[in-house]
Amino acid sequence: MEKNSIDLSGEWSFKIDSLDTGISEKWFATSFSEKIILPGSMAENNKGNEVSVNTVWTGNMWNDSLWYKDPKMAKYRQKGNIKVPFWLTPNKVYTGVAWYQKEVEIPEDWKNKKIDLHLERVHWESTLWVDDKKVSMQNSLGTAHNYTDLNELLTAGKHIITIRIDNRIKDIDVGADAHSISDNTQTNWNGIIGDIKLMATPKIAIGNVKLYSNIKQNKVKVVVQIEDSSKGNQNLQLVLNAKEKNGSFSLKTIKKYISTKGNQEIIIEYDMGENPKLWDEFNPNVYELQLTLKSKAGSDTKNIDFGMREFKAVDKTFTINDRKVFLRGTLECAIFPLTGYPPTDVAAWKRIYKTIKNHGLNHMRFHSWCPPEAAFIAADEMGVYLQVEASVWATIGDGKPIDKWLYKEGEDIINAYGNHPSFVMMAYGNEPSGKNHVDYLRDYVAHFKELDNRRMYTSAAGWAYLDNMDYYNHFQARIQKWNQNLNSIINAEAPQTLFDYKDIIDKTPMPYVSHEIGQWCVYPNFEEMAKYTGVLKPKNFEIFKKTLAENGMANLSKQFLMASGKLQALCYKADIEAALRTKNMAGFQLLDLHDFPGQGTALIGVLDAFWDEKGYISPDEFKAFSGQTVPLARFKKRTFKNTDTLNVKVEVAHFGQNKLKEVTSTWSIKNIESEVFAEGNLAKTDIEIGNGIQLGNINLPLIKVNKAQKLTLSVGVNKFKNTWGFWVYPENPAPILNENDVKVVSKLDSKTIDFLQKGGNVLLNISKGAIAKDKGGAIGIGFSSIFWNTSWTKGQKPHTLGILCNPENPALADFPTEYHSNWQWWDAMSNSNVIILDDLPALTPIVRVVDDWFKNRKLALIFEAKVGKGKLIFSGIDLHTNIDKRLEAKQLLYSLKKYMTKANFNPKITLEIEQITQLLNYNNTH
């Protein structure tokens, strides 16, 4: 049996060319003494340089460049102890030229064959020599490097193949932060991965094949490029046969006879029968078309995966096979800590897609890069909609070489992967810049819409708006935008779920997919560090862990993770539900379901960088607010008096496979002991596919609530259930016995200090702004978690990660809480200053604040201490300004005062009055 390919994986000879002299010195005509294993990277083979302060990185640092001069980082700039906080650290790093060489033996029976060299993924620019003859250079980042028609050079016998790989940014500037090359994500690796092989085909062979499915006519238009390097007229037979990829059922065979001379394009209509199986997220039916070309030169066969589907824009929404679809997506930013490069095996990608589907998602955006073939195969089989980008995050439209390269990169991506049914959307890349980028992208979109209409095209992820694109991928519709600080919906407006993005959608005459929503941070999971067994090491985590220990809080790391994680999940729920509430919105793209290890260390995932759970939210819990069918409730507020009537409008976003018929939605309200407070049914109705579908109202007097408590509303639509917590406080709580024994003040004056030191009980609740800057006054505190991180955003607020407390603390007995932030804490977080306790004895705050992991300061909102003969509660929360209009503040004040009258109010730590006054920024004794 003829062998038609030679696997070149295994040992290659290797040489680093750091001075880039190899071409002038004709290294292609010499032998190399070093060895390297391919597929793989230099880092995997322990080739390259040690990381040092002189390492030249690929990737911007923004504020992270402070590492080079920060005195606190000096110990991490020493040889042998290099640790950078801004991304994962490779064991070896190298940017430049390297040479790879291998001897091959060409069989005699390849004499009359066309010989190609296939390199599945090269990073980045490759140049090929056969023996001492230069072939050519290729520089695609998103597709294979295929060197064709090598038969005149690769004659029967032994030859030397030499490949020069250069991973520098040169004239083609895709942007140092493009995830296709950046150290922020996969690393700027040097090497070859995936299949590495020589292939022999007949001199008359099948070239590129494009399949255009038509679900209305049950046909596929097959466009075949015939590559004919023979001479003279040829009579050919092209045989086509489609079958279900994972089944035995085959469709009819078509034979077409062709007379040709030279290269030719053949178009054939292939009939899929009366009822072909369609492809979508619920039924990922994949077909395989086998094409065989027979000629005197021999027989050539190709197998092409495809699906019968039509993904299009209809008014403001997307449809798949004429059914509405809502894109619930996350990003893949080329984050692969073990290898530093993307996997090329289908199983690895199936695991990722299974994970996102378990979390209710159906879509993935590849941020400024294009994945290998395996990612498309897996998405086809798992039913995931993909947005692919042409490898850049750049300045474009100025006539530089990147402008021309981008067209070729986009065309190469479509030619390589365009038949995959999962490939439904495409953009140039991420967030473009350049004074001419709008005009450039208008032409770019027009070109690709004309070239290949099998997917939807947009200008770029983020912007710009163009009238000729198919959908708008934009950043406006989310609850926190870049540089909003504390002026965002989630931080500036009291908690409610009435809002949506109707105004944005109404003025956008095409599908709107929200760009990079979320970006909510969580405290590092130090237990995760043991997983980094590959080329990238969590030196950044080592710094954070060390500073936490130095500040005496190593034992709190897991608690910080869990508390901040609960807040992070709450923020993601709010973000996603706002999108689902918005009638005719087309979808969202999270940044991100899993952590982003670079750009300052952006711990924004509910999953870690390995797509594993962190322990504070399960896939099912996440899916409840992000899945195909999500009940939604519109609350005017989240805290109530027991004299209020709860009035909630209930609706549903349903994007399942079929409409739901005769559904009786249910609701219940339970307390924290799961005891039913109230329950009922909503009117029976049919639920169409879409969102903004009204199910009814819940109107419930709360007068039966006789003590402060959290209640949870659950709404069920068939098997789908979603929940919301809300809090009810008595209008007239029981009087506090001996209330007058507690002196409540907003400032420390000399009389109060005297009262305290002589044995009085003082509740000091300061006004916002009263904490000295170096004692916490400079820390921006809001309700939400940190957005992206404080380093890369150059200190955007908020600077903290929510609260941590003991719910059983008697000081909070009448202010029901979990151990973490929830919506009843919004008022407190919005009307407070955090207090730095670093210079005080090791007291345990009543309410702690989880700090930014770059700082790891001991932070508190509320603490207690003995001062002189008296006892003090110090509240960084303002519990006096407009107190009658702040229900939560009023209740918290009540709880603290009541505690201070009890015998168990007995602080364990003693502070001097000077230790208290130094926290404040005013003269305290007058």
Contact yes or no for 211/303 (Cβ under 8 A):
no
3-state secondary structure 234-249: EEEEEEEEEEECCCCC
Which positions ≥6 away from 82 have C-beta within 8 Å? 50, 51, 52, 53, 76, 89, 539
% the chain with pLDDT above 70: 99
DSSP state of 358: H
Residue pointed to by tokens 């990169």? 409
With 0-12 / 13-18 / 19 or more C-beta atoms within 10 angstroms meaning exposed / middle / buried, residue 164 is buried
Flag residues of the chain having pLDDT under 50: 1, 924-926
Are 785 and 567 a contacting pair, CB within 8 Å? yes
Q: Which tens digits make up the pLDDT trace of 399-412?
A: 999 999 999 999 99
Residue 154: HSE in the Cβ half-sphere, 13 Å Cα cutoff: 29
Q: Order of strands, edge to edge, in the sheet holding 666-671?
A: 639-641, 720-729, 709-717, 666-671, 676-681
Give the span between the Cα atoms of 411 and 448, in whole angstroms.
Answer: 8
Report residue 749 as tokens: 């004056």
CB atoms within 10 A of CB 808: 8
The CA-based dihedral angle spanning residues 83, 89, 94, 95, taken in that order and rounded to the nearest 10 degrees: -100
pLDDT for the residue numbered 2: 63
Quote the pLDDT of residue 59. 93
Place of tokens 């049919």: 686
Per-residue HEC secondary structure of 296-338 comes to CCEEEEEEEEECECCEEEECCEEEECCEEECEEEEEECCCCCC
CA distance 524 to 518: 17
Residues ≥6 apart with Cβ < 8 Å to 30: none
Structure tokens at 76: 């991490």
Task: Provide the 3-class DSSP secondary structure of residue 405.
Answer: helix
Of the CA atoms within 13 Å of residue 359, those in its CB half-sphere come to 28
Assess whether the previous peptide bond of 189 is cis (omega < 30° from 0). no
Q: Read off φ and ψ for residue 724, nearest 5 degrees.
A: -145, 130
Looking at residue 923, its pLDDT comes to 58
Which is it for strands 191-202 and 113-123: parallel, antiparallel or unpaired? Answer: antiparallel
Rg (CA), the chain: 32
Count of C-beta atoms within a 10 Å radius of residue 901: 15
855-783-734-885 Cα dihedral, nearest 10 degrees: 130
Q: How far apart are the first and last CA of the chain?
A: 100
| Four-residue CA torsion sign, 849, 850, 853, 857 | positive
User: Within 13 Å of residue 160, how many CA atoms lie on the same side as its CB?
Assistant: 16
The predicted pLDDT at position 248 comes to: 75
pLDDT value, residue 1: 45
Check if the beta carbon of residue 211 is closer than 8 Å to that of residue 306.
yes
The two tokens of residue 494 are: 């009291």
Within a 10 A sphere around the Cβ of 486, how many other Cβ atoms?
Answer: 18
844-855 residue pLDDT tens: 999 999 999 999
Handedness of CA 624, 625, 626, 630 (dihedral sign): positive
Instruction: Tell me the pLDDT tens digit for each residue of 442-464.
Output: 999 999 999 999 999 999 999 99
For residues 770 and 746, give the distance between their C-alpha atoms in angstroms, rounded to a whole number: 10
Q: DSSP label at 920?
A: B
Dihedral angle computed from the Cα positions of residues 782, 783, 789 and 795, in that order, rounded to the nearest 10 degrees: -10
**Around 910, how many Cα atoms within 13 Å sit in the side-chain half-sphere?**
5
pLDDT at residue 82, as a whole number? 95
Please report which helix (H) or strand (E) contains residue 426, including its range. Answer: strand 423-429
Paired tokens of 157: 């016998």
Q: Which residues make beta-bridge pairs with 136?
A: 128
Using one digit for the tens of pLDDT, what is the confidence trace for 798-842?
999 999 999 999 999 999 999 999 999 999 999 999 999 999 999
Q: From CA 341, how far away is CA 82, in angstroms rounded?
A: 23
Evaluate whether 356 touches 382 at the Cβ level (below 8 Å): no
The predicted pLDDT at position 247 comes to 80
Q: pTM here?
A: 0.97
Q: Whole-angstrom Cα distance, residue 678 to residue 623?
A: 25
- H/E segment holding residue 762: strand 761-765
CA dihedral 794, 797, 799, 802 (to 10 degrees): -150
